[in-house]
Structure 1
Amino acid sequence: MFEFKINIDEKEHDQFVRESKYCNLLQSSSWALIKQNWKHEIVGVYEDSRLVASSLVLIKELPLSFTMMYIPRGPVMDFENEELVSFYFKNLKKWAKKHHCLFIKMDPSIHYCDYHLEDEKKVYPESEKIMKILEKNGCIHMGLTDDFHATIQPRIHMAVYKNEFSVDQFTKKGKKNLKIALKKHLEIKMGSYELLDDFCRVMNCTSQKKGISLRNKEYFKLLLDTYSEDAFIMLAYLDLEKTYKESKTRFDQVLKDIALCPAHAKKKRFQLEETLESLTRECDELKNFMSQYGNTVCVCGTLTVQFGKTSEILYAGSDNQFRRYMAPYLTWTKTMEECFNRECEFSNMGGVEGTLKGGLADFKAVFHPVVNEFIGEYDIPISRLLYRISKFFYKKRKG
């Protein structure tokens, strides 16, 4: 006997989500604390006093006392149980109607297909079955979108799985750049609040480089406050003083080599003079950095949150002035190592464009990721009469 309930206990909900194969950070009860400009409720279904379906529902207030709702990476249930799915959505709509909801948007954590970049894409038959069940229950599919910005959450992600994680699996480019980073005077630090200012600086560098507005310090602090020990920052610091001394030693040696170079060895002299010119620029640049930042500087970082056996690299930033040191390759590697040390099954590196091309995808590709394609976004109209009008204004506001 099914029973639909609201105001489900947060701990019970979180435990249910953690144990589900559809576990996702965005369905953790604490995610409601992050989405401060939304109200929320946890609703679900019990069968003989046992929780069998649960969902964190975010509620956005609209003009004229209307609302819209969003279930991020949810709901969580056995989607192949048609009786349960039917009961859940029937009662969800009734409950939403009491809140004057125009429509509900959801993007379940159901994988449409998973594959490595070099593999053939094969769609899961069970996913197609679930999609038909959802449509049967009045859920309108927004399509298998490829555009990164077409949906609230990107439909296509790249993730590295614990059982496959190995530097040996990295691409040739990944191995090469990681090797470069390991030879540089980089120090990796993991922590929390004490690293927040430096993390915000490199995030601001990324924001300026891309010409987009990213989250601020208060938001990152909120993530740390909310998820506590399940959230961590990983930063890479470059020792400018040691790097300068190393370059200066090489500069002095090249000067000596030029002085000793025979007049007839024109090719060798040309090569030495080119090296000297490069080292002159490098030393001048490092002296300028030291006057600006001191002896060490944070060059890149990540902020990661764990939930159950999943982990999400939510934010990452880097200072492009120091790109030659390849610090992000080392920082992301150390981030994923920490996730797997925490017994996470995978480390989600976040969304990418459906073309699987471009700077973001190209960088993530070096870690030998699995491409996770979700089934995508759905709308559940509550007021059929007002749904089309509300969708028009939703798209206009989003655009």
Structure 2
Amino acid sequence: MGKYALFEALRGFLIDYDDLDLMNAFLNELKIYLHAHNCLYMKIDPYCEYQPHDKDGNAIEGYRRDDLIDLFEKHGFIHQGFRNGSDNNYEPRWMSILPLEGKDEEDILKKCDSKTRQNIVNTQKTGLKIDRLNKSELYRLQDMVSTTGQRRHFLNPDLSYYTDFMTSFHENMQAYCVYLDTKDYYERYKKNYEELIKEKEHIYKLIEETDSKKNRSKLKNCENKITAALKRIDEAKKLREEYGDKIDLAAAMYVITDREIVYLFSGSNDTFKHFKAAYALQWYMIKYGIEHHIKRYNFYGISGIFSPEDEEYGVYLFKKGFDADVIELIGNFEYIDRKRTYTVYEDLRRIKHLVRK
């Protein structure tokens, strides 16, 4: 707006929020800097936890960061409240984070709920494969996110966003795509079918020796597995005929630092949701975090509304299935440096919005 500047510190300052003396000194100097550089207003959403919660989202009584809110407000920063739900105008105030430090794959898998654990195992049996995408392959990520955006009615970036992101962040931005190798899928279940036929023949021999309830149960179980394997073989043939050797199922983009992996963008092809590709991708990156001694895996946003009635409840349950912690951040603040000019600015914005309607 004219000679004035709008400032924003995404996810806040790189500072120790527990050191209130340091924060106090920093905010004093920041306000001097902002005024000297023609600041109209500044927005900030500190990457700082407000209060602890259990995995069901219930607040754990005790420590809360009201002291930090009070300090910001003392310096004229207006707290924007404890926002819940999803809003594309803001970064998530609620997150789902899985600590990795001091854990191995077995520790993590044991803590997953039974459904999540089984889905991870099934993706391994199916043989889903994962490509790390280079810049020329980012269209695969964009296609997946675009498909999901159309399905769930959210705006998604164009391809240049991802390529620019990778250019800027280098190794700290990584993108991956899960795909089904239809030839490998066919071969896996053909081999599985052949092994089951041999197992069935062995069970028949057992029944000839001892026609027991236990052996009859083994036979029935084996026959059910044979039926399932035949269905998979038939599916593999049809998929290969229709889609070729390689089918992209899901893709995601991550920001990676020594401290954490952030699961920032993702998308999937709903036609193939039964392959549970998202579980394969999450498990792959959790293992990456463990191997590279990264402290935590950030599943990123959840709504903060822990009710089955919430439209985003399924997202929370998916992340909770990996035994992730619920994290509530302190929220957004706004600092207005020139109040009269800001009032005029807001009035003009409202008029512009009405004219556009």
Give a deviation string over 1:38-87, Cα, whole Å, max 9, x none. Answer: xxxxxxxxxxxxxxxxxxxxxxxx3x333211111112334454544333
8 A Cα contact 1:234 1:301, kept in partner:
yes
2:67 aligned residue: 129
Alignment partner of 1:306 out of 228, 234, 256: 256
Report the residue type matching 1:303 in the other structure: M
Question: Residues 292 and 193 from structure 1, CA distance in 2 versus in 1: closer, same or farther, beyond 3 angstroms?
Answer: farther
Q: In the alignment, is residue 377 of structure 1 matched against residue 332 of structure 2?
A: yes
Give the 5 Å matches for 1:317-356.
317-356=267-306
Paired with 1:109 and 1:393, the residues of 2 have a C-alpha distance of 32
Query: In structure 2, the residue corresponding to 1:235 is in which secondary structure?
Result: strand
Paired with 1:78 and 1:171, the residues of 2 have a C-alpha distance of 35
**Structure that is richer in strand per residue:** 1
Question: Residues 123 and 311 from structure 1, CA distance in 2 versus in 1: closer, same or farther, beyond 3 angstroms?
Answer: farther
8 A Cα contact 1:112 1:123, kept in partner:
no
Alignment partner of 1:107 out of 35, 38, 45: 45
Q: In the alignment, is residue 366 of structure 1 matched against residue 331 of structure 2?
A: no
Alignment partner of 2:151 out of 188, 209, 226: 209
8 A Cα contact 1:195 1:233, kept in partner:
no
Question: Residues 392 and 375 from structure 1, CA distance in 2 versus in 1: closer, same or farther, beyond 3 angstroms?
Answer: farther
Question: Residues 392 and 358 from structure 1, CA distance in 2 versus in 1: closer, same or farther, beyond 3 angstroms?
Answer: farther
Query: In structure 1, the residue corresponding to 2:65 is in which secondary structure?
Result: helix
How far did residue 342 of structure 1 move?
A: 2.1
Paired with 1:318 and 1:138, the residues of 2 have a C-alpha distance of 44
Paired with 2:346 and 2:80, the residues of 1 have a C-alpha distance of 12
Give the 5 Å matches for 1:1-16.
none
Normalising by the residue count of structure 1, what TM-score does the alignment of the two structures yield?
0.69
Q: In the alignment, is residue 94 of structure 1 matched against residue 32 of structure 2?
A: yes
Alignment partner of 1:220 out of 157, 162, 165: 162
8 A Cα contact 1:158 1:351, kept in partner:
yes
Give a deviation string over 1:247-271, Cα, whole Å, max 9, x none. Answer: 7897xx9xxxxxxxxxxxxxx9xx9
Q: In the alignment, is residue 162 of structure 1 matched against residue 100 of structure 2?
A: yes
Paired with 1:211 and 1:80, the residues of 2 have a C-alpha distance of 39
Paired with 1:90 and 1:115, the residues of 2 have a C-alpha distance of 32
Paired with 2:44 and 2:24, the residues of 1 have a C-alpha distance of 16
Alignment partner of 1:189 out of 131, 136, 140: 131
How far did residue 214 of structure 1 move?
A: 0.9
8 A Cα contact 1:156 1:371, kept in partner:
yes
Report the residue type matching 1:299 in the other structure: L
Alignment partner of 1:148 out of 78, 86, 93: 86
Report the residue type matching 1:201 in the other structure: D
Q: How many residues align?
A: 314
Report the residue type matching 2:25 in the other structure: F
Q: In the alignment, is residue 241 of structure 1 matched against residue 179 of structure 2?
A: no
Gaps of 5+ in 2: 197-219, 307-311
Question: Residues 170 and 135 from structure 1, CA distance in 2 versus in 1: closer, same or farther, beyond 3 angstroms?
Answer: same
How far did residue 358 of structure 1 move?
A: 2.1
8 A Cα contact 1:151 1:377, kept in partner:
no
How far did residue 370 of structure 1 move?
A: 0.9
Question: Residues 108 and 325 from structure 1, CA distance in 2 versus in 1: closer, same or farther, beyond 3 angstroms?
Answer: same
Give a deviation string over 1:190-217, Cα, whole Å, max 9, x none. Answer: 3533642322222222122223221222
8 A Cα contact 2:52 2:63, kept in partner:
no
Paired with 2:190 and 2:260, the residues of 1 have a C-alpha distance of 46
Query: In structure 2, the residue corresponding to 1:65 is in which secondary structure?
Result: coil
1:199 aligned residue: 141
8 A Cα contact 2:51 2:64, kept in partner:
no
How far did residue 336 of structure 1 move?
A: 1.7
1:27 aligned residue: none
Structure number with the bigger relative contact order (C-alpha 8 A, sep ≥ 6) is: 2
Paired with 2:88 and 2:61, the residues of 1 have a C-alpha distance of 21
Normalising by the residue count of structure 2, what TM-score does the alignment of the two structures yield?
0.76
Alignment partner of 2:341 out of 364, 372, 386: 386
How far did residue 111 of structure 1 move?
A: 0.5
Gaps of 5+ in 1: 1-61, 254-267
8 A Cα contact 2:145 2:267, kept in partner:
yes
1:41 aligned residue: none
The CA RMSD measured in Å over matched residues stands at: 3.3
Question: Residues 84 and 379 from structure 1, CA distance in 2 versus in 1: closer, same or farther, beyond 3 angstroms?
Answer: same
8 A Cα contact 1:68 1:102, kept in partner:
yes
Give a deviation string over 1:176-195, Cα, whole Å, max 9, x none. Answer: 21122122131123353364
Query: In structure 2, the residue corresponding to 1:305 is in which secondary structure?
Result: strand
Question: Residues 370 and 391 from structure 1, CA distance in 2 versus in 1: closer, same or farther, beyond 3 angstroms?
Answer: farther
Query: In structure 1, the residue corresponding to 2:53 is in which secondary structure?
Result: strand
How far did residue 367 of structure 1 move?
A: 0.9
